[in-house]
């Protein structure tokens, strides 16, 4: 029997694959073996209509039938269980549409911008004229990934930075980026100390940008503002 999967469900499954490593029971728990095609997810509790209850049940079905692990804290002994199902779906509702995975409605490295409050997240912005204006010791990689999508590498082999999130704010350009430590080594991705660069030196504008960013960043584990 052919099962019709609703487009909203397909989008949500892509979201889950972006947030979790998903493994079948008969394979080794290794990143190379994780499921990356939603057609490989079978035997789930498919919803016939979209509702919070049905989507949470679908999430519980995925977490029960498959072995799932957080991509930001991949530990083979820390399998996710059904207790995170509600939180995962709530996260999707808050930030649906920001997925960078390719599917029927999104494209990898899309040039379309995601308007988030007063911020416009646009990976295609030119940030070459920005300079350091501050640091974000209270915002983590986890906050940024779950709020604005996966890390995007813009630094070259010999650059002192690797990743960058680009924003427009009040007609100015802002960059959130990593930087090498005192020994010229990069921090592990989950421990990156993030910095801010901009093409404006207006302290009032910078302060408003940081305040706005803080209010948009959401903790995956709690579904609340980070600070």
Residue 173 three-state SS: strand
Rounded distance between C-alpha atoms, residue 70 and residue 74, angstroms: 6
Q: What predicted TM-score, i.e. pTM, was given to this entire model?
A: 0.48
> How far from 125 is each of 111, 122, 130, 167, 175, CA to CA, in Å?
9, 6, 11, 7, 9
The CA-CA-CA angle for residues 220, 45, 17, to 5°, reads 40
pLDDT of 18-66, one tens digit each?
778 899 999 999 888 999 888 899 888 888 888 889 999 999 999 999 9
User: pLDDT tens digit string along 155-208?
Assistant: 988 888 999 999 999 999 999 999 888 788 898 888 898 999 999 999 889 988
Q: How many CB atoms lie within 10 A of CB 6?
A: 14
Token code pair at residue 183 = 């020994």
Map tokens 């939603």 to a residue.
38
CB of 164 within 8 A of CB of 124? no
How do the domains of the chain map onto residue ranges? 7-95, 114-216
């Amino acid at each position: 029997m052919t099962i019709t999967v609703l487009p909203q469900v397909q989008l949500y499954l892509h979201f889950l694959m972006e947030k979790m490593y998903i493994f079948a029971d008969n394979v080794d728990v290794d990143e190379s073996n994780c499921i990356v095609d939603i057609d490989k997810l079978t035997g789930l509790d498919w919803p016939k209509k979209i509702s919070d209850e049905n989507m949470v049940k679908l999430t519980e079905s995925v977490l029960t039938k498959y072995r799932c692990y957080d991509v930001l804290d991949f530990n083979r002994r820390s399998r996710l269980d059904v207790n995170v199902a509600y939180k995962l779906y709530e996260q999707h509702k808050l930030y649906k549409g920001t997925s960078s995975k390719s599917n029927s409605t999104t494209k990898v490295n899309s040039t379309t911008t995601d308007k988030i409050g007063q911020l416009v997240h646009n990976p295609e912005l030119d940030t070459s004229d920005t300079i350091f204006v501050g640091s974000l010791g209270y915002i983590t990689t986890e906050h940024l990934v779950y709020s604005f999508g996966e890390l995007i590498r813009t630094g070259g082999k010999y650059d002192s930075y690797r990743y960058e999130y680009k924003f427009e704010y009040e007609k100015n350009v802002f960059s959130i980026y990593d930087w090498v430590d005192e020994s010229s080594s990069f921090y592990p991705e989950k421990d990156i100390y993030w910095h801010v660069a901009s093409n404006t030196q207006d302290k009032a504008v910078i302060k408003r940008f940081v305040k706005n960013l803080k209010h948009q960043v959401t903790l995956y584990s709690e579904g609340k503002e980070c600070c």
